[in-house]
Structure 1
């Protein structure tokens, strides 16, 4: 009845499963945890060739060679703002053409109190992967004008944005890959409950898009999870909640949910899950310092106290025994 931990990685290509698992173990526990840890390694579904073992993952805060940056870098901030302005105009035109009351007039409808333009602009800054503090803050002048849109228009804009910038997110929500990715997470959870781990504490850690996948699997099929940890998660963003399979709530079976984000992490643009995911007493939001180049790195999140401490408390002396 030893504890088990299941990791769910985020967007982009990754190293081989055993390499990535060991990297996360080292960041969280300071040692490779062997059979006590497991990675829900879904990257091969979208990226047939893994990153070389010594290669840094750019979405995990690592650097990439300049020639590959030129080939694969998302649009610049200026191009993204032009894209935002154009798609906002298209959505407003579509909104105006709809019959009154079908989804609500512009500025009404479920969740329409969330201005979208500022979020889109900020995601553009993430797409450029700024490696330093600064840049126009949220709501700074010079960006596209923020308007309140009904949920169907926000969802359409969100879909266009992720197709434009974040390919794996688009594949998960709109490209037909979601079911297969969730299957990988289900299998990892099932395997974690087998053998010596049966009946012992279970921890699930999801980073970025991986936090969404882990959340949806746990919401679909309730499991006893002693600690659910989300790091660099976009689950608090209204546009993400618009496209989830069900309304936001703590998944049945989750005893404790800890959410950690850095204020400079623009994937986790909204840092508080607690107001939207009931029952609120099960959720705690933590602001931490993520020292990776883009403030989104998984290993940097795993090394922070609010993430490490509750996990290590459940694992007791197991990490120390792994070094013996």
Structure 2
């Protein structure tokens, strides 16, 4: 029996699950080739090596917007984005190496923490747009191929707040976060082994989902995760304290230094081990510096793809 390989996406709009699965598999195959697993490339792309699935929940955000799920102007979601950006900026400031980078970060921090700022309807929203415009000049967030505008950046970051707010119940009373986790749970193998590769907000969703999963997860891979943002994200996750799910036998966490979303990237500092003494093992990767957050940038890294391919091969033999 083939093991299952589940990809869990992050922030962003609705997408075509079939097309996305192909894109993610091809990026993984590129990384596998670079990691010395050329013989497995065709098996990965064609779906012979694993029962690959793309857990898609982006449409739920879109539906909620259509139903008025997104609040306008100054609201708790805007406040959350401000907290997230401030924590991420502070984390990156501790490692800033270039003078121009430090200048941008300090300017953004001053914008986020300024007192006596303009008041009135929309003041917080306007400040967020101004801060985002400042941050878009950083390596890794440049608009070429990435966020087209500060408005898009803020809008997508608000999705993290909407998930963690545990609201937007449907007609059956299921909140947005519950419905999102259902999408991931349905993609997992309830009995056999599942290798989970999650990105961005998907790492938050996957961690919470796996706490109730009874199947076997030989490997959990997290890419560009915001879980290490202890105040904005980690403290709002469930259950508390943060702990590796019991089903997980191994957890590899990857971040790119130029990925602003991965503040506090060393998750082993904030997530407790499970009963099997499994802890996250964090590793840095280095991309080209232009819009490094996308999942495919991570998947094409040999350091990421290698362990995934090896876990698929091992699970197939067990």
- TM-score normalized by structure 1? 0.61
1:243 pairs with 2:239: no
1:311 pairs with 2:305: no
Q: Which residue of 2 aligns with 1:17?
A: 17
**Mapping of residues 119-268 of structure 1, within 5 Å:** 119=87, 121=89, 135-136=101-102, 140=106, 143-144=109-110, 166-174=157-165, 175-176=167-168, 177-189=176-188, 192-193=189-190, 199=192, 201-239=193-231, 240-246=233-239, 247-268=241-262
Q: Which residue of 2 aligns with 1:57?
A: none
Question: How many residues of Structure 1 are paired with residues of Structure 2 in the alignment?
Answer: 233
Q: Distance in 2 between matches of 1:233 and 1:252?
A: 20
Q: Distance in 2 between matches of 1:281 and 1:138?
A: 38
User: What SS does the aligned partner of 1:136 have?
Assistant: helix
Q: Which residue of 1 aligns with 2:293?
A: 296
Distance 1:255 1:164, change over 3 A: same
Q: Distance in 1 between matches of 2:293 and 2:14?
A: 15
Aligned partners of 1:224 and 1:253 also within 8 Å: yes
Aligned partners of 1:218 and 1:251 also within 8 Å: yes
Q: Distance in 2 between matches of 1:163 and 1:141?
A: 18
Q: Which residue of 1 aligns with 2:59?
A: 44
Distance 1:315 1:269, change over 3 A: same
User: What SS does the aligned partner of 2:297 have?
Assistant: helix
Q: Distance in 2 between matches of 1:185 and 1:38?
A: 10
Deviations 1:37-70 (A, max 9, x none): 001111111236xxxxxxxxxxxxxxxxxxxxxx
| C-alpha RMSD over aligned residues | 3.8
- TM-score normalized by structure 2? 0.63
